[in-house]
Amino acid sequence: MQHAARKGQSSHDQESLRAARSAAKRLLNRAARFGLRMQALLARLFLPLLYPTYHILLRFVLGYSMPGYRKVRADIRKAVGRKRRPLLICPNHLTMIDSIILMWALTPWWRTFWDLRFFSWNTPEKTNFAHIPVLRFFTYIGKCIEVVRRAPREETQKLLAKLKLLLASGQSLMIFPEGKRSRTGRVDTEDYAYGVGKLIQDLYQMGAEPEVLCLYLRGEHQDSYSTIPVRGERFHLSFRLIQPHSEQDGLRAHRDISRQIITQLTEMEDEYFAAATETGQ
């Protein structure tokens, strides 16, 4: 009976994705869709170079570690399962390499050869890498779609259309709901962006049923925002998987959904600091 229920849910997810993918395709011209497919192909071809490079840099050059990450990784994979739903990965944001650290933590390198669920697309700000050719190359093969702050409306709509198509195709997207690195060293509960809320609401309206993997990443010595964590940093990682909904419409819905995600991150942050106080860290 459980198998039949899972099969029925899988069929429902596939039908929802097909409807959402069909709607998303109409938002982009053929050239833009081809560009995404080409980038995804090149990213997969370069993955045997990219992932070991990140692993060596983080683990051996910078000396980072994450006690208990294998259990967290297994728990995340079990929670997400094999559901073919759009998956948004929403972490807190303190350093410029958070997404790289999380990619390293979420999946072992050998698994990426057949399972790209956690080799997610990213949306870094263009000014952070566009002026350095090497960074432009690595962001491209790292499945990054550049974001330009205060871009013309047409460019913003094109960006959102790309993200919707990727998510509606069953791929994952990492997006920082705060919109920028927190200047206080804590999850920003006041001045956060509503973009992730709009993206999720639009996916619902297209017939998809997106899930959000909220991740809280914290280095023991990370008191505020920085470019990179200190050498030899030890990280804590926790997660919650949610499906945020809103009964509101328009901007109110975007704000409501974004707030739900920020609330999850804030609660995990409170749990982290409570545990750190108990252990005297």
Domain boundaries, the chain: 2-279
Q: What are phi and psi for residue 214, nearest 5 degrees?
A: -85, 125
Determine the pLDDT at residue 5.
Answer: 47
Query: Per-residue pLDDT tens for 102-139?
Result: 999 998 878 877 788 889 999 988 877 777 888 889 89
Q: Is the pLDDT at 61 greater than 50, yes or no?
A: yes
Query: Per-residue pLDDT tens for 82-102?
Result: 777 899 999 999 999 999 999
The stretch 15-35 carries a mean pLDDT of 84
Determine the pLDDT at residue 9.
Answer: 55
Q: Is the pLDDT at 6 greater than 60, yes or no?
A: no
218: exposed, middle or buried (C-beta count within 10 Å: 0-12, 13-18, 19+)?
A: buried
Tell me the C-alpha distance between 256 and 194, whole Å. 9
Q: Is the pLDDT at 7 greater than 60, yes or no?
A: no
Range list of H helices, 63-215: 69-80, 98-106, 133-141, 153-168, 195-205
Nearby residues of 229 by Cβ (< 8 Å), 6 or more positions away: 62, 64, 95, 97, 101, 219, 221, 222, 235
Q: Place 8 in a pLDDT band, splitting at 50, 70 and 90.
A: low
Tell me the C-alpha distance between 60 and 64, whole Å. 7
The secondary structure element, H or E, covering residue 254 is helix 250-279
- pLDDT: which is higher, 241 or 49: 241
pLDDT, averaged across the chain: 90
The stretch 220-224 carries a mean pLDDT of 94
The stretch 179-193 carries a mean pLDDT of 93
Determine the pLDDT at residue 103.
Answer: 92
Tokens, residue 147 = 């974001």
Length of the chain: 281
High-pLDDT (> 70) share of the chain, %: 94
Determine the pLDDT at residue 2.
Answer: 47
Domain 2-279 has CATH 3.40.1130: yes
